[in-house]
Structure formats: structure tokens, C-alpha cells
A and B are shown apart, each in its own frame.
Chain A
Amino acid sequence: MTVDFSKFPNEHGHFGPYGGIFAPETLMAALEQLNQEYQSLKNDSAFLSELSDDLRDYVGRPTPLYYAQRWSESLGGAKIYLKREDLNHTGAHKVNNTIGQALLAKRLGKTRIIAETGAGQHGVASATVAARLGLECVVYMGADDVVRQAPNVARMKMLGAKVVAVESGTRTLKDALNEAMRDWVTNVDDTFYIIGTVAGPHPYPAMVRDFQAVIGREARQQVLEKEGKLPDALIACVGGGSNAIGLFHEFLPDEGVAIYGVEAAGHGLETGQHAAPLCAGTPGVLHGNRTYLMQDKNGQIIGTHSISAGLDYPGVGPEHAWLKDIGRANYVAIDDEEALQGFRDLTKYEGIIPALETSHAIAYATKLAPTMDKDQVIIVNLSGRGDKDMNTIAQIEGFEF
């Protein structure tokens, strides 16, 4: 396989048959303007140095690559390293992207920021950059997620954002995205829409990937320093797919590196109650791009289920759809119970409480590591910390919070 991964997407935002710009007419000009601005800035040295200064001084990068020795030894296989995105300011990888998009918003002269959020991490990261730049911020969040991620709702409000609970549809992330799109169509003149994952119409999937790719660039250098070789496998959870593509992208040309994206199997793939479009869905068009979707035979999007709000989404970024089809990445699924066990394991062996989204990647590592040799190396993207999930965990484990 000799694919030049740097050539994707093409100028129309296509990754093979996936991606593109399937947007309402009112947004086409704004998307074109954003694309032009982004294409000119992404190689602009002043922009890039402002971005990297912010990532160092405000976000706290580079994040460590930590060898989880006790956990690895308990599994009796490969050495597992954790890329510590949980140590970023605001507690997840999401801020890598909001810092970048906020710089763009500023350059485009926009005064108002909107965002959708599931777990609330992207909402918090958006509210944070808005506060820092003195911009108005409105965050759309499914009404069910407002309840299960209450600590993040409080953080957003404290940061001065308005949080709108979306009651339509399935009251989760996809409906928040619909509502944010409606806001953008209405307020396109003064508003910048910070999409939180590698989905949406072009240029978002490429742009968000580029902002998150710092994860993989750092990890590649760090693992070479620590191990003197490339890793044998990468693992990351996949909601829309931004933390996953962020880790994977730098390694795509390295054929010896196996890549695993972990979707949410919810109550189990066989029950239909899950959020695993790559493992169990079919291609279609939603939220501005063509990708794998959870849909019925009539092309209606079907309700998803996951214990983690950030993975509870019926679509996935188009680049993942393409990587699946060309066989460069493998996509697997972890159910709610397995994810909870991953959450407990990492907390117990390493003293690190992961987000429930991240716990899906942890759980897959507990399956993969024992099948590998002790001198082999896995990097797991520790996409976020679990503070936001204390309500959910308290309910399940039966303690007061």
C-alpha cells in the first residue's frame, strides 16, 4: 500500500468517496471563506508560532508519554504507554482544537462562538477560549447529556457561556449538532462555529485533524526517545474521531504500526443499542459529509446508546470511514460493561481516573496487550480525565456523590 496520506482530503474535502460539503446553501459561502482562510494560515509561520506558543503556555503541551508499568505487568503482555491528553488544561484533547479554531475566529473578525458538545469537554474547551478572547459563547448540548455531564455544564456556565439544552430528536450529541447548525445558518455573519470533532462539512474534518495531529507528532518523537523504535500498535476511542485521528495521523505512513479505533458497543452490537457506525453501520450523508452512519433501510438516522456521552453519536469522521475501507486502520467495539471495567482497572493500577470515553480505549488495550510480546509497545490515547463522569459512576457503583 503506497498511499500518500498527506494528499487527503482533496481540494473538495473528499477522502475517497467520503467527506465533502453537503451543507445548506446559506452556509456555502461561510465554509468557502473558512477554507480559504485556513488553507492560507496553515502554512503561515506567524500563525503556527502563535498556535504553538498557546499550546505550550496555556494548554501545557507537550503532554507526557507515560509508561503504565503496573497496569502493563498485570496484563502480562505488551508495554503500554499512555499519551496524557487528560493533563491538558480543561482535562481533555478537545482544547487542542478550540485553541486553533479560536485563532481563526479572531482573524475572521467574528464576535460570537457557538459549539455543540456531548460529554461537555468540547463545550468547556470552547467556553474557555471564548472567555480568554472575550467572545460571546453559546453551547448546544442534548438535554440528556446536560443531566449526565452536569459538572461540565456548571463549568461552562462559570466560564460565561450560555448552555442550551436541546430537547429535539434523541436529546444527545447529534441533536446538539443540528441545533448548532441552525444557529449558524441564522447568525452566519458574526458567528464562528467551532465543531468539536473531525466531522461536519469540509474543511472541518481536515482542519480539526490538523489541530489534533500534535498528539501524534509528540507521541512519535517521545516513543522514539524512550523505546528507540516505533510502537507496534495505537489505540484510541472513536466518537466523532478527533482524538483518534490526532494520534493516528502522524503514524499512517508507518506500515508496521497497527491502528485500532474503538467505538462504543453500548449494550452490545447484537442489540442494536450502540454507537458503532464503523463496526455496524452503512455509508450515508449526515451533518455535511458522507461517512458511515447508524441508519435504517429508509435512510433515517437511528438512536444510539453509549454509557459515554462523547461517543453517543451515529456518525463518524469521514477520514476514519476511508481508513476503514482501505484497510489502514481497524475499528473494534467495546461495550458499556467492558468500558466500566477499563475505568476501574486504570484507576486501580495507575491512579489515573479516565473519562468514560477513554475507558473504551483502555478496555481494548486490556484485550490486545496480552496477545502481544513483552517487548512490544502499545500507545493508548488517554483522551480525557474522568471527573465529569462521577455522577454516572456513583450511580452505577452505588455511592453518594
Chain B
Amino acid sequence: MSRIQKKFEALKAQGKTALIPYITAGDPNPNATVSLMHLLVSKGADMIELGVPFSDPMADGPVIQKAVERALKHNVSLDDVLEYVRVFREQDEHTPVILMGYLNPIEAEGYEAFSAAAQSVGVDAVLTVDMPPEESMGYLEALQGAGLDRVYLVSPTTPESRLAAVNEKGSGFVYYVSLKGVTGSSELNAGDVAEQVNRLRGRLSLPIGIGFGIRNGEAAFEMAQLGDAVIVGSALVSLIEANAHEDLYEVELALGKKMTEFRAAIDRADAQ
């Protein structure tokens, strides 16, 4: 059983919804990432989604675009991201880590070599925004061979006909993109999401994480009632941008406060 599967089962037994924060690796600088990961865990993260910087993040809004630019100023590479995970794992064996990014850095490294390296440092899953199940030949087998989970996106526009492939090829969980738009968009409609998640429940056996557009406790509270996991990204990353100074203190303070808001909202939903 994968670390992600175990985590979902343990949470389910307690009647809890997972909180999965996203940060971009190397933002605001390469030294920050491992300590920010530990901070997120201490503030209630059940898993961590770590963004791999790519020069052309075509599915990301301005907040994450700028985070990626900050990381790329330091030339943060896929190898560097794997190194952060390795160091993180020295102190945390339990929190699943999901890499989220675009295909080209993985292509450059080679599917097999990347999968082996990711597995060896303790990565649990990979989500590649521009790699749909249809193109996954070779990629899928490489990740699977290394025991890594394959997380696929499902969106409000995903037709029924494609859900079977996601269910069959995906593992760990399914990432439901809660709105039509890029990361950081703001028009989340709980009613629409509820309808869509109900549609998915009948088709997918995997846990469902909900992300995109969850900016505050209120939205997290609503989404926790629908999904198995709540994924928050731009709301945290914008705090990194606003507070990035010489030392990390203010970033940690701001992130910690926001994480506490999300965690409390989700716990409140779970307690109902």
C-alpha cells in the first residue's frame, strides 16, 4: 500500500478530510523549501504538493507564475527539487509528497531515470499538468515500476468517456479542478462543485481531492464537505510573495496563520 493510500485510509477511519498545501519548490529561495515543508506539516498538512518550476507554466495564474519566476532566478531544477525531498525525508517519513509540474523537465531527464530518482528520495506521487492519460505510454509504466502514484486531473469539462481512463491509470487520488480557469482564479461555486463531485463518485473509486480557487477558511469548509482532500495553493503562495524578505520569519508566520485557518475550517466541517 502506498504512503498516500495509507494516509487516506487512516484519515477515513477518523472521519477526517486531508489538507494538502501547495508551494513552489525554491520559492522564495532554494534554502527555504525544506523548512517551509516542515512548517506546513506542523500546521496541519496531511500531505504536501511541491511544485516543480517550469519556464512556461501555461495552466497557472499570475501568483504561481511569479513564484516559478522567483525559483527559476535561482535556477532551481528538477534535480534540486528531488534533493529538497531527500532532505525533508531525513526528518519526516510519514507525510506524502506529491510533485506537481509540467512534462518537459521530466522528458529531459527521461521517464525511467526520473522515476527511479524520485522513488529513491521519497517522492510518493507525480501530477503532470500537461500529460493526459492518452499520452501516458512509457510515463505511466515508469512511474508504476518505481512504485509512484499517478495523480490525474479531472475538470468540470471532463466528459464521462474519459473518466474510465483516469480511474484505471490514476492512483493515489484524483485531483478535481474545481473551476474552469488557471490556478488562483476566484470564482468557486460550491453548488457546481457538489454536483460534479457527486457525478465523479459514481465513476471513480479513488479518493477525490478538490483544488483551484480555495482562498479562505469558508471555501475550505464547503469543499471539505464534498471531497476527501482540500488542496490550497495560490492563497499560500501569495503570502510568500508578500512577505519574502531576508529571513523566512515573516513568511513562516503568515503561512502558519493561513494554514491554521484552513485546518480549523476543515476540522469544523469534519466534526459536523
- Which residues of A pack against B, CB within 8 Å? 12, 20-30, 32, 168-169, 174-175, 177-178, 181-182, 185-189, 283-288, 290, 293, 295, 297-302
Contacts and interface: CB of A to CB of B under 8 A. Distances in A.
Interface string B24-66: 0000000000000000000000000000011111111110010
Interface string B168-191: 000000000100111001000000
Given A22-B130, A298-B108, A300-B72, A188 B135 contact: no
A25 B131 CA distance: 9
Contacts of B108: 284, 295, 297-299
B135 A22 contact: yes
A29 B55 contact: no
A136 B17 CA distance: 43
A191 B107 CA distance: 31
B77 A25 contact: no
Nearest to B105: A299
A25 B155 contact: yes
Given A29-B157, A30-B157, A285-B130, A300 B107 contact: no
Nearest to A293: B104
Nearest to B66: A168
Nearest to B53: A300
Given A29-B158, A29-B159, A186-B181, A301 B56 contact: yes
A301 B69 CA distance: 13
Given A24-B58, A28-B162, A301-B55, 20 more contacts: A22-B103, A24-B153, A25-B132, A30-B157, A174-B56, A175-B56, A178-B56, A178-B57, A182-B58, A182-B59, A188-B157, A284-B104, A285-B130, A287-B58, A295-B108, A299-B78, A299-B109, A300-B54, A301-B56, A301-B104
Interface string B196-210: 000000000000000
Interface in B110-154: 129-132, 134-135, 152-154
Contact of B131 (A22, A181, A301): A22
Contacts of B132: 21-23, 25, 28
B106 interface: yes
Interface of A is mostly: mixed
Q: What are the nearest 5 A-B pairs in CB distance? A: A299-B108, A299-B105, A25-B153, A298-B77, A26-B155
15 contacts: A20-B135, A29-B157, A29-B158, A32-B159, A168-B62, A169-B56, A178-B58, A182-B58, A185-B181, A186-B182, A285-B104, A297-B108, A299-B54, A299-B78, A299-B108
Interface of B: 53-62, 65, 69, 72, 75, 77-79, 102-109, 129-132, 134-135, 152-159, 162, 177, 180-182, 185
Contacts of A168: 62, 65, 69
Contacts of B55: 169, 300-302
B136 to A, nearest CB: 10
Nearest to B75: A298
A29 B77 CA distance: 32
Which of A26, A28, A32 counts the most B-chain CB atoms under 10 A from its CB? A26
Contacts of A295: 104, 108
Contacts of A174: 56
A26 B185 contact: no
Contacts of A290: 107
A21 B54 contact: no
Contacts of A23: 130, 132
Contacts of A288: 130
A186 to B, nearest CB: 4
A285 B153 contact: no
Contacts of A181: 58-59
A301 B104 CA distance: 9
Contacts of B154: 25
